[in-house]
């Protein structure tokens, strides 16, 4: 029997609570299974005459080319246990005399195609290792035509068929980060005290060659001054262990570095040291007459030097520059709509007005952003009228995707003043790609959630539990009579009322404007909408074309990318509605 076959039918990558990446692999395991059968076989045979040298015997090359097997019920089939002839056949077919004569096995093929009739159903199978007993030719149907014979037969048959049992198994595997091996740089020679015997002499200096400890190379030691033919630090060959050798180079360099650092640290105090010893040297050369006076003066200089040195250290240790204190201004008040005349020179619409919004929000690190943006009143009205005029050809998923695509295209050039706000923030803050995206998403997350409905904000008009409970418990946080149950990006920026798909549509417009690789994700199963963005961030991600898109919730404040509630985390229930690249 062949071994089990294990096929991968699905792979799904996710991030666990430990912030590690896992892969859920779904396998289909096919296990071969033997099923033994017994029954009565009826079939047809044919043969071709075998020529011999004497032409005295009628011998034919025999084969069965069509057969039907009749089995009476479940008892004629069993797993993993062959039927024994004639013991198992006698009780079933109630034959009084069964001779047990077996048809020659070598005359049968290894696989015998048959049609099995059982429980009034037909099955076409291959019987493996068939055995026939009580083979009986139906004489009246036997025919001979030249060198060929044809006929029909009846017999008992047993054998087995092979099929496969199917099992679905899921396995969670930790995804190991790919380890990139970086070749080690050649190690620097660590000098030993073992000489190679080679020396080099220049003028009155000599140096010797030593073995390296960590590899097979050699290295030269320090130059030593020769006096009377011997180096100043001459030692006997029996005292090799005391030789500083080339290792003293490292200590010399290290000592020099520490010395320089110490001198720089003491400046300008080191000047006092130099002046003190210079005066002592001068006075010391003036003679023994002044020695008592010089000693008193020297002691006074020493006391003054120590005092000045302590003062210098204290002055350095208490130098401190405090950072300026930043005081946040109060958060913005409820939205307002001041109407003022347009003064832009590029505006040709007569009697138009603008709507100004002031926003103040913080990102995940507590960085505060604030500013104003403006929307033309004519653009706000056009956005609403365009939404009302859209035709919905059907209630399919493609129809919904077409609606939000059309709304996105119509509004995408009608809130450029908001882009100016984000550009000015980025110019001052100098945000990187991830920080800039977080600044934009938190701008939307900070806006309080409001449900958007295609009918009036009356709980009695809705039968689903979520909408009814929301309207009963959150009176006022609703934008009613909005076609398709969505506010366009321009409408949302003006009335600041948006639920999931209103928010994701605005963010899709903004982030695609800044050339992010972004997807608008929809789930009819969860009745929700989120965004997916191609950024190097850890968290729950949606894989598309071998590319990871981090999922981002937009309806609640301070929800970081990749943090999706468990209730909506089954990625099989999400699909892509819009994609920027």
Q: Which of 79-93, 126-140, 252-266 has the highest mean pLDDT?
A: 126-140
pLDDT tens digits, one per residue of 272-314: 566 666 666 666 565 555 556 666 776 776 777 676 666 554 4
Name the band, by pLDDT with cuts 50, 70 and 90, for residue 496. Answer: very high
Q: Residue 16: is its pLDDT beyond 80?
A: no
Sign of the alpha-carbon dihedral angle for 291, 293, 297, 302: positive
Number of CB atoms found within 10 A of residue 569's CB: 15
Q: Tell me the helix, strand and coil percentages in the chain, rounded to 5.
A: 30, 35, 35
**Comparing C-alpha atoms, which of 97, 122, 116, 124 is closest to residue 157?**
116
Q: Please give the pLDDT value at position 186.
A: 54
Nearest to 335 by CA among 229, 468, 494: 494
Q: pLDDT at residue 29 above 70?
A: yes
| Cβ–Cβ under 8 Å, residues 154 and 40 | yes
At a CB cut-off of 8 Å and minimum separation 6, what does 320 contact?
none
Q: So what's the pLDDT on residue 211? A: 80
- Token couple for 139: 């004489």
So what's the pLDDT on residue 334? 39
Tell me the C-alpha distance between 314 and 294, whole Å.
30
Mean pLDDT of the chain: 77
Q: Alpha-carbon distance 505 to 393, whole Å?
A: 21
Phi-psi region of 384 (alpha: psi -120 to 50; beta: other; left: phi over 0): alpha
Long-range contacts of 235-239 (CB under 8 A, 24+ apart): none
Report residue 440 as tokens.
């934009």
Q: Residues near 69 by Cβ (< 8 Å), separated by ≥ 6?
A: 37, 39, 40, 41, 114, 115, 116, 117, 127, 157
- Terminal CA-CA length for the chain: 51
Which residue did the predictor score with more confidence, 442 or 298? 442
Which SS3 state, helix, strand or coil, does residue 455 take? coil
Give the per-residue pLDDT at 96: 52
Q: What is the pLDDT of residue 542?
A: 94
Q: Which of 88-97, 391-400, 403-412, 504-513 has the lowest mean pLDDT?
A: 88-97
Distance separating alpha carbons of residues 128 and 116, to the nearest angstrom:
14
Cis, peptide link before residue 268, omega less than 30° from 0: yes
pLDDT for position 336: 41
- pLDDT at residue 250 in the model: 45
Chain centroid to CA 365: 24
Q: Which residue has the higher pLDDT, 495 or 228?
A: 495
Which range of 48-52, 85-89, 479-483, 510-514 scores highest in mean pLDDT? It is 510-514
Integer Cα distance of 491 and 497 in angstroms: 8
Q: In this structure, what token pair is assigned to residue 456?
A: 């009036």
Global confidence as pTM: 0.44
DSSP-assigned beta bridge partners for residue 12: 24
Q: What percent of the chain has pLDDT over 70?
A: 71
The strands making up 339-341's β-sheet, listed across from edge to edge, are 339-341, 353-362, 368-376
Q: Name the residue ranges covered by the structural domains of the chain.
A: 31-170, 191-241, 267-317, 339-516
- Count Cβ atoms below 10 Å from residue 37 Cβ, excluding itself: 22
pLDDT tens column, 219-247:
888 877 665 555 544 433 334 344 444 44
Q: Alpha carbon 409 to chain centroid distance?
A: 31
What pLDDT is attached to residue 228?
A: 52
Q: Would you place residue 540 in the very low, low, confident or very high pLDDT band (cuts 50, 70, 90)?
A: very high
Whether residue 355 has a cis bond before it, omega within 30° of 0: no
Give the separation between CA 102 and CA 489, rounded to whole angstroms: 85
């Amino acid at each position: 029997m062949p071994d089990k076959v294990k096929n991968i039918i699905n792979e799904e990558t996710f991030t666990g609570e430990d912030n590690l990446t896992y892969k859920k692999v779904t396998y289909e395991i096919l296990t071969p299974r033997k099923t033994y059968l017994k029954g009565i076989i009826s079939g047809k045979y044919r043969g071709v005459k075998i020529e011999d040298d004497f032409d005295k015997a009628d011998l034919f090359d025999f084969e069965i080319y069509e057969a039907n097997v009749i089995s009476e019920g479940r008892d004629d089939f069993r797993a993993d246990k062959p039927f024994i002839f004639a013991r198992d056949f006698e009780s079933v077919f109630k034959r009084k005399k069964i001779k047990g004569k077996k048809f020659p096995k070598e005359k049968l093929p290894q696989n015998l195609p048959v049609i099995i009739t059982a429980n009034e159903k037909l099955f076409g199978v291959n019987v493996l290792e068939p055995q026939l007993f009580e083979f009986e030719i139906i004489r009246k149907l036997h025919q001979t035509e030249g060198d060929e014979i044809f006929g029909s037969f009846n017999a008992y048959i047993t054998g087995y068929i092979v099929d496969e049992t199917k099992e679905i198994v899921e396995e969670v595997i930790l995804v190991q980060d790919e380890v990139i091996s970086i070749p080690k740089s050649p190690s620097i020679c660590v000098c030993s005290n073992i000489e190679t015997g080679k020396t080099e002499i220049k003028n009155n200096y000599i140096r010797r060659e030593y073995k390296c400890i960590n590899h097979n190379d050699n290295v030269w030691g320090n130059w030593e001054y020769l006096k009377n033919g011997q180096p100043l630090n001459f030692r006997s060959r029996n005292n090799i262990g005391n030789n500083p050798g080339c290792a003293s180079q490292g200590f010399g360099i290290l000592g020099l570095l520490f010395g320089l650092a110490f001198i720089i640290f003491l400046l300008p105090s080191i000047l006092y040291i130099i002046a003190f010893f210079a005066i002592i040297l001068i006075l010391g050369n003036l003679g023994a007459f002044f020695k008592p006076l010089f000693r008193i003066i020297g002691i006074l200089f020493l006391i003054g030097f120590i005092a000045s040195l302590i003062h210098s250290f204290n002055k350095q240790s208490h130098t401190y520059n405090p950072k300026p204190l930043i005081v946040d201004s109060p958060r913005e008040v409820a939205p307002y709509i001041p109407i003022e005349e347009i003064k832009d020179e590029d505006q040709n619409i007569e009697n138009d007005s603008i709507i100004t919004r002031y926003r103040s929000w913080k990102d995940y690190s507590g960085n505060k952003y604030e500013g104003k943006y403006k929307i033309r009143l004519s653009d706000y009205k056009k956005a609403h009228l365009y939404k009302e005029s859209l035709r919905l050809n059907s209630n399919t998923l493609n129809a919904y995707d077409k609606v939000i695509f059309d709304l996105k295209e119509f509004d995408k050039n009608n809130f450029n003043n908001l882009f100016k706000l984000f550009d000015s923030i980025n110019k001052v803050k100098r945000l990187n790609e991830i920080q800039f995206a977080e600044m934009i998403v938190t701008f939307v997350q900070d806006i309080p959630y409001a449900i958007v409905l295609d009918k009036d904000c009356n709980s009695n008009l809705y039968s689903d539990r979520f909408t009814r409970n929301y309207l009963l418990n959150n009176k006022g946080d609703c934008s009613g009579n909005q076609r398709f149950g969505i506010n366009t990006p321009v409408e949302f920026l003006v009335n600041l009322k948006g639920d999931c798909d209103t928010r994701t549509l605005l963010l899709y417009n903004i982030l695609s404007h800044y050339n992010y690789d972004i997807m608008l994700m929809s789930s009819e199963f969860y009745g929700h909408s989120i965004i997916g963005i191609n950024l190097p961030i850890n968290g729950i991600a949606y894989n598309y074309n071998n590319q990871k898109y981090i999922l981002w919730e937009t309806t609640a404040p301070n929800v970081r990318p990749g943090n999706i509630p468990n209730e909506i985390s089954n990625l099989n229930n999400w699909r892509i509605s819009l994609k920027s690249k």
